[in-house]
Amino acid sequence: MGFSPGSRLAAMGRAQSRSVKTCAEYERRYFQLDKRLCRAAGQQWVSAGDFVEALIALRPTLAARTWRVYKAAALWGLERYKDRDDDSIERLSSVGSKGLPPRSRRTSGAKSKGVSIEAQSAVLAVLDTMQGRGCGTARRLADMLIASLAVGLRPGEWASSQLVRLPGEPAALVVQNSKATNGRGCGVERIILVDELSPSATSAIERVIGFMHREARTDHELQRAMSRLRSLLRSVRKRAAQGMTGRAKSQCLGLCLYSCRHQLIADAKCSGMAQPQIAALVGHRSPDTASEHYAHSSQGQSPLVVRPSPETVAAVREVTARQRPKSPAKEASSPDPTSSLGG
């Protein structure tokens, strides 16, 4: 396979249309909401106006992120499946997430933003015992945890990633950014240099990519493979948490695959990596995303040995430069976000 970081990233940009996968997710979520609101109203069908009012009434029980997802899916569905009602669409469009809590006490709000050493060791010990009894899924889950802690990929990004080794060049992980549409990512791809990773971590990455390429060739296969891993993790973390108390136990019980991404970002912050470099490492469009929504540097526990390629960092710089300028007052009080980068 021919590989040149410069040529691979030359076409990086911000697609402005929703992907087919995003539209399918909006459709699925819209019909879930419609069914839920119809059931709550005791009817088989509700008008667009009633749908919007019921959804807005549900808003105070949601986290800000959940509301934004529900709202986007509802607007998408209202334009396609309900009798056209511009007033209702405008009414829903005007309701933002201001005032809602950033996290919910339910479901995703209870997930751990990070992976403590104690939780990591306990979970891997349980998985090691299961592997000894011939559980292949336990081997895959252990590899997924180790690899994700090493490079911080979103779980779904493994299926389209490649580990590249060329003579005279550092080993590189080429990742297709899963949130590259509508300007949400730093580009189509990002490149993570992994030449300083331990052989065991590199081997885990190779096995995860191999597993995903074999068993997740379609979106359906990917969802099924990830469902098996998540189901096993829910069982394993309960066993691993036995004997723990307090914060350690709650962190272990809240462990999910995405927690590994939070932990890598915490390690990057703790290691002193600049914001634009962190954004490039994890595929964010804005250097501020990791600082605002991910784990804090105080949770860092391992020195970071991976780094984004210079081309990927340059892509973040380019996207940042295209953002709307700050007001003069903010510009005067804020440092240049790229000033901490080297040449």
pLDDT in tens, 213-227: 998 888 888 889 999
Please give the radius of gyration of the chain, using alpha carbons only, rounded to the nearest integer: 22
Q: Is the model more confident about 84 or about 320?
A: 84
Q: Is the model more confident about 38 or about 343?
A: 38
Coil vs helix vs strand at 58? helix
pLDDT at 200 over 50: yes
CATH number for the domain whose boundaries are 111-322: 1.10.443
| Range of weakest confidence among 16-20, 147-151, 166-170, 323-327 | 323-327
pLDDT reported for residue 182: 62
pLDDT reported for residue 7: 42
pLDDT at 185 over 70: yes
Residue matched to tokens 């396609």:
80
Per-residue pLDDT, averaged over 304-321, amounts to 86
- Picking from 148, 129, 205, 137, the residue whose alpha carbon sits closest to that of residue 171 is 205
Q: Calculate the average pLDDT of the chain.
A: 84
- Picking from 34, 224, 217, 20, the residue whose alpha carbon sits closest to that of residue 137 is 224
CA distance 265 to 277: 11
Token readout for 85 is 């009602």
Residue ranges, CATH 1.10.443, the chain:
111-322
How far from 49 is each of 19, 59, 81, CA to CA, in Å? 28, 16, 13
pLDDT at 261 over 80: yes
CA distance 144 to 209: 9
